[in-house]
Chains A and B, each alone.
Chain A
Amino acid sequence: MRHGWAAIFCATILAVAPAGAAERLTTEGAALPAVAFDKGGALEARIDAGGDEALEVYAMIRPASSNAVWMRDRDGFWTEWDGDRASLIPSAARKEGDDLVFKLFEAPPKGVSAMTVTLAYRTAAGLKYGWFEAAERSE
């Protein structure tokens, strides 16, 4: 992937809108548009699987204020992730057509108002993933 200032100036994205625009994940990782959520509110994210068959899905958050990384299990509990792909715990997503909808939280984890969210799924061919910034709306 080629990075540069021209690209950054044109794509300083940071859309302040609920998660919902269906983006696709990639094997090298896709930078997705940022989202904002209501203070203390829920956050869902929708991605377009593009015909992929997701064998397992994963959801991680990195609180913007720290170096912690948490992964969400199928029951909605958050566990620290050590960064090793082999130790990823599957999460859950509902299928709507070709979209996968990740329910990340009803309310953000205590004390976390801005974070990086990483979504991933595993196919027979390998892992695809993407990430976006999420933050409570400014008051």
Chain B
Amino acid sequence: MTFRTALRFGVTGLAALGLLAACGGAETGSDDGATPQPGTRFTGLIDFPPLVSLTSADVQQIIAQAVQEANAQGMPAAIAVVDRVGNVLAVFQMNGAPAQLSAIAEVPRTIDQGPLQGDVLVGAAGSGLDGLVIPGAAPVGAIAKAVTGAYLSSNGNAFTTRTASQIVQENFNPEQSFAAGGPLFGVQFSQLPCSDLSTRFASDNGAGTVVGSTVGPRRSPLGLAADPGGLPIYKNGVHVGGIGVIADGIYGLDLRVTDIDTDAQMVDELIALAGTVGFEPPANIMAPRITVEGNTLRYTDTVDDTDRLRSNPAVAPSFASILGSQGTLIAVNGYYNAPTGTAADVLPGTAYGDPASGYVPASTLAGGSPFESESAYVLVDGNGNPRFSPRAATDTPGGNAANRLTRREVTQLIDEALGVALAGRAQIRQPLNSRIQVTVSIVDTNGAILGVARTPDGPIFGTDVSLQKARTAMFFSSATAGVELGGVAGATVQVPNPLAGNALQNVTIPPLQSYVTAARQFIGGNNVLNGAIAFSDRGNGNLSRPFFPDGVQEEQSGAPSPNGPFSRPFNSPDPTQNWSPFSTGLQFDLIGGNILTHVFFILGLGNDTAVGCSGLGPRDALAFPRPPLANGAQIFAGSVPIYRNGLLIGGIGVSGDGIDQDDMISSLGLRRAGLVVGNGLGHAPEAMRSDTVIPAQGGGNRLRYVSCPFRPFINSDVQNPCRVL
């Protein structure tokens, strides 16, 4: 567990690796900030990541190095290693390692100014995952942390679970009053075990998505982790996986980034760090070399990579010598088998870009690429067949199938979005002037997946998140959103606490009607969640933060800033209602039951959660027999709803770079596709957009719709291309 971090100044070297150098192609940016010209997008070819993978011997070495450090720290650990697409390659449980996993609860946060000045409780037992003590789940937490280290990183950025902690809290940086929430606020509830995009290790009682293969992206048992101790793994400078460690039994987060954790507070991270010695990212892409909104990101709490290690990874014992004597390989239901208990159970990883990984260049498909962009990557199944090729919609918007998105329109939307991305300057990638790398998803109003494609090296997390974003923008803009949410009953789930004589812990999930009511009171009137307002994910995100306006804690009419109606309050008189990253509000309450069901399954206490998240029912089960938010909701920017002549027909979501970049790509991608194909395809009418809404209880502040970066394109001086929207 850790609660502190310090600036990391020890990274040296400015050598640009040039992994992502452009190789030509037409550039966006000739529009002078006026109407973008369709067809001027970037269409050139950028470098594809090299095919590099972890061998079984690599994984054994990483574990042996971590075990040696755990022994030196006197903290036996559960250690998990995954490849870049989330395949679990080994789970090693040291003798004496904690078995149970405790989620963070009741942590005081000090507010130094404003109406909440003083100690405020963040989270509380009984709210979301806060305070849960889950028997036998320590390896589950280790897997989630390993997946996070792998998924947040790429060949242009190396992020850890400590980085994740920094960017998911109520302010960015955490504790910085009046600063907006973390740019990836809510990303912790992605890659969910119920996702209909993420793949599963086994058929799991008939609910599997891709069975018996290694294709990713794999789901994560608890979503993404913010507890330091999850790091990416690189091999010869190429991103190949992640390691996650639980030694303290705590699944927490770093609430304070301005100081340095003690060894005891960051033992998970030190053990993971030892594991990655020899498998580090290039220094110039590590988090401290990347700034967002003026804040330097964090990688670990060390000054350099090894200064606080108590062991020398170079002299780690062999894996063969620790297997059995120091611990064992253990099976984890739904993630990893250890049938022999020998080193043969340690698996090699897939090479990202090889069909076995589930990601390939679209140009290598047997039928050829459906996209104009030569740089497009797509998802494939275990036989190399495309998983989410562009297809026509399944719905009948306005009661007329002629209004639905066509295959050609879906293809054009993705091509335009990829073109904007590759013309743009990345926020989170090094070297500077690297191109943006993201995933793009398109859905119809049933939530059916109409297409998913990506640039070559987008972080893996953006695959699932782009789909969440597309669905969220579509769902909350639809005429039946309020009715559907209002139909989801609440529940109380009970979990035995092994540390308290198996006393039952309650996890209470409220009826979702409470959020609908709150939204109508907050915005004013009943014309909310009924299709009258077009919600981008930025606008929806404004309503999902514990402060409104985002990050601002101040007096409004004699009272502290209100929470957004889709968020838990930050300082409730009833602390069990308090917001925390483990209990965000509507976002968590939509899928909390899926996570708990899945954890029980892992522990052998029941069946797995179904494919398709949330308690919502399908909209048209014949056309798409899954909930419209089938992989959960996402509440940070990067998506817009799609309209045809003012009629909602779908959503486009983008994820993988900065949120302003994601916003720009989704909104300009839609704008440009509409200009190319016509047929009324485009944005919501201006009068419907969420940035026209000034909530009645919002202190006179309006919601937002789209926000674009300054001078976003490489080789162009266009300042604000989004002003044409």
A interface residues with partner B (beta carbon < 8 Å): 1-9, 12-14, 16, 28-29, 31, 34-36, 62-69, 82-86, 110-111, 113-114, 116, 118, 120, 127, 129, 131, 133-139
Contacts and interface: CB of A to CB of B under 8 A. Distances in A.
A129 B404 CA distance: 22
A15 B135 CA distance: 26
Given A14-B607, A113-B203, A129 B622 contact: yes
A83 B206 contact: no
B392 A1 contact: no
A6 B608 CA distance: 16
B219 to A, nearest CB: 13
Contact of A114 (B203, B383, B488, B626): B203
B622 A66 contact: no
B202 interface: yes
A5 B489 contact: yes
Interface string B552-573: 0000000000000000000000
B180 to A, nearest CB: 32
Given A65-B387, A114-B208, 13 more contacts: A3-B488, A4-B489, A6-B489, A8-B597, A9-B491, A9-B597, A14-B610, A31-B625, A65-B209, A67-B389, A67-B451, A83-B393, A133-B611
B321 interface: no
19 contacts: A5-B592, A5-B593, A7-B489, A9-B493, A9-B597, A63-B381, A65-B210, A66-B386, A67-B387, A82-B391, A83-B393, A83-B404, A114-B207, A114-B210, A120-B622, A133-B206, A134-B206, A135-B207, A136-B203
B395 interface: yes
A135 B206 contact: yes
Contacts of B621: 28-29, 31, 118, 129, 131
Interface string B382-408: 110111110111110000010010000
B491 A4 contact: yes
Nearest to A87: B401
A58 B199 CA distance: 28
Max chain B CB contacts within 10 Å: which of A5, A16, A133, A136? A5
Query: Which residue among A35, A62, A83, A118 has the maximum number of chain B CB atoms within 10 Å of its CB?
Result: A83
B383 A138 contact: no
A29 B401 contact: no
B610 A12 contact: yes
Given A36-B206, A66-B381, A114-B208, A4 B395 contact: no
A86 B402 CA distance: 12
Given A5-B490, A67-B387, A36 B210 contact: no
B617 interface: yes
Contacts of A3: 487-489, 615-617
Interface in B620-668: 621-626
Interface residues of B, number: 59
Contacts of A120: 622
A31 to B, nearest CB: 8
A2 B387 CA distance: 32
A129 to B, nearest CB: 5
Give 4 closest A-B pairs by Cβ, nearest first. A4-B489, A83-B394, A29-B621, A5-B491
A34 B391 contact: no
B509 interface: yes
B491 A83 contact: no
Contacts of B401: 84, 86
Contacts of A127: 622
Contact of B617 (A1, A14, A36): A1
B211 A114 contact: yes
Given A14-B610, A118-B622, A127-B622, A8 B208 contact: no
B340 interface: no
B212 A113 contact: yes
A42 B389 CA distance: 28
Interface string B597-614: 100000000111111000
Contacts of B609: 12
Contacts of A35: 206
Given A29-B622, A84-B401, A14 B388 contact: no
A61 B112 CA distance: 58
A65 B389 CA distance: 12
A113 B200 CA distance: 12
Contacts of B211: 64, 113-114, 135-136, 138
A28 B199 CA distance: 29
B480 to A, nearest CB: 13
B618 interface: yes
A65 B608 contact: no
B450 interface: yes
A122 to B, nearest CB: 12
Contacts of B210: 64-65, 113-114
Contacts of B199: 65
A12 B491 CA distance: 15
Interface in B414-469: 448-451
A104 B391 CA distance: 24
- Which one of B203, B395, B617 has the highest number of Cβ atoms from chain A below 10 Å of its Cβ? B203
Contacts of B592: 5
